[in-house]
Amino acid sequence: MAIGRSLRAIRADPRMPRRASGGWTYHAAVGSDLPRLTVALTFDHDSLSDGIRRGDSPVKLSHAEFGHRVGVPRILHLLERERIPATWFVPGATMDLYPGDTEAILAGGHELATHGWFHEDFSELSRDAQRAILDRSIEAVRRATGEPPKGFRAPYWALGSETLEEVEDAGFVYDSSLQADDYRIYRVRRGDRHSTTDGTTWGAEGRLIEVPGYWAMDDWPYFEPGDDGREGLAAPSRVLEIWTGELRYAHAHAPGGLLTVTMHPECMGRGHRMAMLEQFIAEAKTLDGVGFDRLDRYLDRWAGSDA
């Protein structure tokens, strides 16, 4: 009873930011246009983009090149075999370096979205510099597909305080950099203000839709050693346990929801990790009402049934 009263109090609190629709439940469109659970396999094809910007050593650059030489073909073959459409976030520099990769991604029926140019940290850039990268990236995708991209994911999931305002103003439909939810997409607020002296003021929701992610559903923290002392090189069985745990929980508790997985070809493309990805896909296919799709297509259906 105490828990129930607490939840009602939270929901009634006028200070709490809410979706415009006011929904605290998961999507109501289950059984119509949305599967019970949609799994989105997403790939950040960073390749040499950030290594070129940083001036990395030949060994680090070769690690990044593995994504192009081995990871992308392996992943595309798996997706084709399993008939899974995916979303690829590709920096502009990668598109320039490897136009054949972009062609193969599009030929496979996958979505092409943006991910900076040289995998820049947007939190360190001026507003004008951020907008210039966004504009350049939009034009690169437009040249490849004939249409502007719908999606943006910040490199490193790093954002400046005004980055997503620039993303929305540039015409993007969605971002995939924040972590305020797990299986529900939501509208991004503009103008949140936080102060130790003046408190918090919540901004108003804009047009931009957020596709939330989280480190636990990203391959990189598990598998790649970091300069910050992160060990990396985890056993795939450990990662599979976590990912399938999220999968089963979302399937049971988030009808109509979206489970987003973030991967990198230079990381996931290693053989033992590809085997883990195959197991994850197989597990998802055993659950009733689970489907795989591109982010843009999920959002199109969500928008059509969110009225």
Does residue 241 belong to any structural domain of this protein? yes
pLDDT of 46 above 80? yes
pLDDT of 30 above 90? no
Does residue 184 belong to any structural domain of this protein? yes
Output the six-digit token pair for 151: 């999606």
Higher pLDDT, 28 or 140: 140
Q: Is residue 174 within 8 Å of residue 167, measured between CB atoms?
A: no
CATH number of the structural domain spanning residue 223: 3.20.20.370
Q: Is residue 135 within 8 Å of residue 170, measured between CB atoms?
A: yes
pLDDT number for residue 1: 43
Check residue 96 and give left, alpha or beta (phi > 0: left; psi -120 to 50: alpha): alpha
pLDDT number for residue 3: 45
Mean pLDDT comparison of 33-37, 112-116, 301-305, highest-scoring range: 112-116
Dihedral sign computed on CA atoms, order 240, 245, 246, 248: positive
Backbone torsions φ then ψ of 102, nearest 5 degrees: -60, -45
Does residue 27 belong to any structural domain of this protein? no
Range from 141-145, 154-158, 227-231 carrying the lowest mean pLDDT? 227-231
The structural domain count of the chain equals 1
Three-state secondary structure readout of the chain = CHHHHHHHHHHHCCCCCCCCCCCCCCCCCECCCECCEEEEEEEECCCCHHHHHHCCCHHHHHHHHHHHHHHHHHHHHHHHHHCCCCEEEECHHHHHHCHHHHHHHHHCCCEEEECCCCCCCHHHCCHHHHHHHHHHHHHHHHHHHCCCCCEECCHHHCCCCCHHHHHHHCCCCEECCCCCCCCCCEEEEECCEEECCCEEECCEEEEEEECCCCHHHECHHHHCCCCCCCCCCCCHHHHHHHHHHHHHHHHHHCCCEEEEEEECHHHHCCHHHHHHHHHHHHHHHCCCCEEECCHHHHHHHHHHHCC
What count of residues does the chain have?
Answer: 307
pLDDT digits (tens, 9 = 90+) for 155-192: 999 999 999 999 999 999 999 999 999 999 999 999 88
pLDDT number for residue 10: 41
Q: Is residue 183 within 8 Å of residue 258, measured between CB atoms?
A: yes
Residue from 116, 105, 211 nearest 154 by CA? 116
Does residue 12 belong to any structural domain of this protein? no
pLDDT of 209 above 70? yes
Does residue 258 belong to any structural domain of this protein? yes
pLDDT number for residue 219: 97
Q: What is the mean pLDDT of residues 69-92?
A: 98
Does residue 20 belong to any structural domain of this protein? no
- For residues 21 and 192, give the distance between their C-alpha atoms in angstroms, rounded to a whole number: 19
pLDDT number for residue 232: 78
pLDDT digits (tens, 9 = 90+) for 103-124: 999 999 999 999 999 999 999 9
Does residue 255 belong to any structural domain of this protein? yes
The model's confidence at residue 34, banded by pLDDT at 50, 70 and 90, is confident
Instruction: Give residue 156's domain range.
Output: 32-305
pLDDT digits (tens, 9 = 90+) for 189-204: 998 899 999 999 999 9
Does residue 120 belong to any structural domain of this protein? yes
User: What's the predicted TM-score (pTM) here?
Assistant: 0.89
Question: What value does the mean pLDDT of the chain take?
Answer: 90
pLDDT number for residue 231: 75
pLDDT of 18 above 70? no
